[in-house]
Amino acid sequence: MSDAYLKLDKLTLAYGDTVAVKDLDLTIRKGELVALLGPSGCGKTTTMRSIAGLLNPSSGRITLDGSDITRVSANKRNVGLVFQSYALFPHLTVYENVAFGLRLKGIGGKDLDGKVSAGIKSVGLAKFADRKPAELSGGQQQRVALARSMVMEPKVLLLDEPLSNLDARLRLEMRAELQRVQKETGVTMIFVTHDQIEALALADRIVVMLNGGIEQVGTPEEIYNKPVSAFVADFVGFENVFALENGKLATSTTSVEPSGPAPQAAKGLAWRPRMVNLGSGPYQGTVRGTSFAGNTREYLLDTPLGPIKAEVDAELPTHAIGSTLPFDLPLAAAAPLSRYR
C-alpha cells in the first residue's frame, strides 16, 4: 500500500517464551477507521499494545508517518489509547480529566481552556464539564475518555473494546458518536473488538485475526459477503460451512454430492441460514430444534452432513420437531472459500 501511514512489518510479539503474534504485516492509511476483530487470544489486543508502545516486539518494525517508532517509548509516540475501563480519575471533573494530559505537556491558560472546551464540546458534553465520573452514565464516561485522548491530537487513536461495557442502546449511540468524531477530526483510529456486528457497523476496513496472524483484511462488505476461510465465514454468520473434497461437500465422517458443479478452485463452501432452501431440494433433514426470532423462524436440522441451520419467514407454516423435510444448499448462494483450514 503506497499511502501507508501506519505500517507493521514482520511484527512478532511474545510474552516470555509464548509467541502471541508472529510475522504480522499490516498497513493502515491516514484517516482510516480500522477494526482488529477476532476471538479472545487471537492477538488483537497484543498488536494494539505494541502500537501503543506498551509491549516491545521480539522482532519486526513499526513505522508511523514515515518514522520508525519500534523502540520509541510510549509517551513519545503521539499515540492515544482509550482503555476498556475508561481509566478516568474519579476525584476530577470532566474538565480536569480532559485537561490532565495537556497540563503534563505544559499547556496552560487560554490555550488549555480552548483545547479542553473544544474537546468536551466535540463529544457533546459541554453541559457536564463540572461533573465527576460517578455523576455520568457509562456512555458519557466513554465520551470523556475519548475527548481526553483527542485533545492530545494523537497521530493514531487506539480503542480497546470501546463499547463492551455499554448496554445495547448506548452501544448504538456510541457507534454513531465514534464515527462522527473520527470523520470530523480525520484522526486515524484503530479499535479492538470481538463483536463482528460492531466491526461491520463502524470500520472502514476490518482485520480478522486468528492464532496471532491475519485471516483476512477487507471492507465490511468484503468480509461479510466474501469470506476467504472457514473461520472468517463462521465468524461473520455463515453457520453452514463445509470442505470441498473431490468436488463433494465433506465432513470428518461423510461426503455428499452438491446440487450442482462446485467451483473448481474452492476449498470449501459456506451458506448463511437464510440461504438454505427449506421445503424443497435433493437433501433430507429432521427438525431437531426450532426458535421464533421475530420476523424469522430458525430451524436446526439433523442431516447426513451434520447439523444444518436454516432461517425462513416467520409467517410460513411451522414444522414440528421430529418432522423430516427436504432442503437444498443452492450453489448460486454459497460463498466459495479459498482456504478451509
Arithmetic mean of pLDDT, 298-323: 95
Per-residue pLDDT reduced to its tens digit, 129-164:
999 999 998 888 888 988 898 899 899 999 988 777
**Cell 521480539 identifies what position?**
58
Q: Is the pLDDT of residue 294 over 60?
A: yes
Cβ within 8 Å of residue 256, ≥6 positions away: 248, 249, 250, 283, 304, 305
Q: Which domains does the chain have, with CATH numbers?
A: 4-227 (3.40.50.300), 231-337 (no CATH)
Per-residue pLDDT reduced to its tens digit, 219-257:
999 999 999 999 999 999 999 999 999 899 998 888 999
Distance in angstroms (rounded) separating the CA atoms of residues 131 and 134: 8
Alpha helices by DSSP H, the chain: 44-52, 94-104, 109-122, 138-150, 168-185, 196-202, 220-225, 230-235
Q: Which residues of 146-171 are buried (b: 16+ CB within 10 A; e: fewer)?
A: bbbbbbbebbbbbbbbbbeebeeebb
Between these two residues, 84 and 18, which has the higher pLDDT value? 18
SS3 330: coil
Three cell numbers, residue 72: 520509541
The average confidence (pLDDT) of the chain is 92
Per-residue pLDDT reduced to its tens digit, 73-115:
998 999 998 887 778 899 999 999 999 989 988 999 999 999 9
pLDDT band for 1, please (50, 70, 90 cuts): very low
Helix H or strand E segment including 14: strand 4-15
Cβ within 8 Å of residue 184, ≥6 positions away: 122
